[in-house]
Structure 1
Amino acid sequence: MGLREKKAQRSRDRIVAEAMTLFSRNGFEPTTMESIAEAADVSPSTLYRYYPTKDSIVLASFMGNTARFSEVFALSLKDLPVERALAEAIFAVLAIEDKEPKHALLVRSILGQSPAARAHLWDYLGEQQRELARLLAQATNTAPDDPANILTSRIALEVLLAAADIWRANKGKQSSRATAENLMTLLTTGAVLFPEAASTPTPPTPKRPASTKPKAKP
């Protein structure tokens, strides 16, 4: 990253930080873009160039952390089997909620109030799901559009989102990591009900390449 890009990133980070402070203090709707520009010490034109709406500022705060999912998953695959790498990616994203619960609760509260932000959020999560499916395909030597990869990537992201939703509903009384671990246990112990196809002969399950990664220590 060059000097200009670093300066621009610092400006974006400062805008998001100051905006979230104003949202917390004054509320999302009453806070104006002009007041955000003043607090971040940037011109209104600079603010609108980086973030055209308040929704985009809130979404940037969420996306900046969620983007770590694929990154951590790819790095974890070097030392862990696929299943454990998925778990570590989920924990990495949820860590911000345990570290900065007030910030995380504020972001999720605003996202819940803003239809525009939620629409952009689902588009972004769709991109994350496709990237995860691609990484899964590389790890298992299968095609990205393999139904197993598509379903696995969606389930992993759903565990992440469900853990965050439960954490928010409980006002952070239990750590988001512990909540995610509980959800993973429900999946692996058969406590979750899955849709069952009609009573037709079950086709053989394609054999997927066994993971060659070392098993994680308990």
Structure 2
Amino acid sequence: MRERKAQRSRERMISEAMGLFAGKGYEETTMEAIAEAADVSPSTLYRYFPSKDLIVLASFTGNTAKFAEVFALRVKDLSVERALAEAIFAVLAVEDEEPRHALLVRSILGQSPVARARLWDYLGEQQRQLSKQLAESLQKAGDDPIVLLTARVALEVLLAAADIWRASKGRTSSRATAGALMQLLRGGNVLFPDPGPESSTQEAAPKATARKALTRKQ
């Protein structure tokens, strides 16, 4: 009961804060005004959210947390590739369902350096969590380049789709955009850095040197 009550209070504070941010502006809204609108004391608000940027970030992370949850659920029955796609779609769904709220959150994140810095810290943690899940699903080491690059590419698809959606001011479907980006990747239409043929020669050189050294010892 206490946990549910605390969660409802938390959601009310976030909702009232976002309403004030939309009406008065992010910088103009004070923590005291948020506490009054949410019908809580300033000390209670500060206990939940020590700063305004954490309120904005909570609104964002509450949705993106679905990524790990959906992937963990879907990968039990689907391929890793499909599970990743379903997780991306789940996170982007809120942008299509609640475009005004999502645009406001992204606008504030774009304006506030502090909130944006916290966001990148959060996304870094999300990438580490996804890498761990992928390592378990693929039965590879957590620091395997395939695991690390797959996690980063999946999150980049998510972020790119969200950026395109925001640039269109919500006029496009973020889910459809993400699907199109995935098709570009799978169709081989995205350009990747080319190390050139000399890279394979450089990799082979140490092995050849080692073989010569071994031959001399023998």
Q: TM-score, normalised by structure 1?
A: 0.90
Could you tell me which residue of structure 1 aligns to residue 56 of structure 2? 58
2:159 paired with 1:166: no
Deviation at 1:196, TM superposition (A): 1.3
More displaced stretch, 3-12 vs 61-70 = 3-12
Could you tell me which residue of structure 1 aligns to residue 181 of structure 2? 183
Percent of aligned pairs sharing the same letter: 71
Deviation at 1:198, TM superposition (A): 3.3
Structure 1's unaligned 5+ residue stretches are 204-218
Could you tell me which residue of structure 1 aligns to residue 106 of structure 2? 108
- Measured in 2, the distance between the counterparts of 1:128 and 1:89 equals 13
Deviation at 1:103, TM superposition (A): 0.1
- Measured in 2, the distance between the counterparts of 1:198 and 1:55 equals 45
Deviation at 1:79, TM superposition (A): 1.2
2:43 paired with 1:25: no
2:135 paired with 1:140: no
Query: What per-residue deviation string (whole Å, max 9, x for no partner) do you get for residues 2-26 of structure 1?
Result: x222211111110000100111111
Q: How many residues align?
A: 202
- Measured in 1, the distance between the counterparts of 2:194 and 2:66 equals 34
Could you tell me which residue of structure 2 aligns to residue 213 of structure 1? none
- Measured in 1, the distance between the counterparts of 2:180 and 2:196 equals 30
SS of 1:130's equivalent in the other structure is helix
Which amino acid in structure 1 is aligned with residue 92 of structure 2? Answer: L
Q: TM-score, normalised by structure 2?
A: 0.90
Q: Work out which of the two has the higher radius of gyration on C-alpha atoms and give 1 or 2.
A: 2
Structure 2's unaligned 5+ residue stretches are 204-218
RMSD, aligned CA: 1.3
- Measured in 1, the distance between the counterparts of 2:51 and 2:39 equals 17
Q: State which of 123, 129, 132 in structure 2 corresponds to 1:131.
A: 129
More helix by share: 2
Q: State which of 181, 195, 204 in structure 2 corresponds to 1:197.
A: 195
Residues 72-87 of structure 1 correspond to what in structure 2 (within 5 A)?
A: 72-87=70-85
Comparing both chains, which one has the higher relative contact order based on Cα–Cα distances under 8 Å and sequence gaps of 6 or more?
A: 1
2:4 paired with 1:13: no
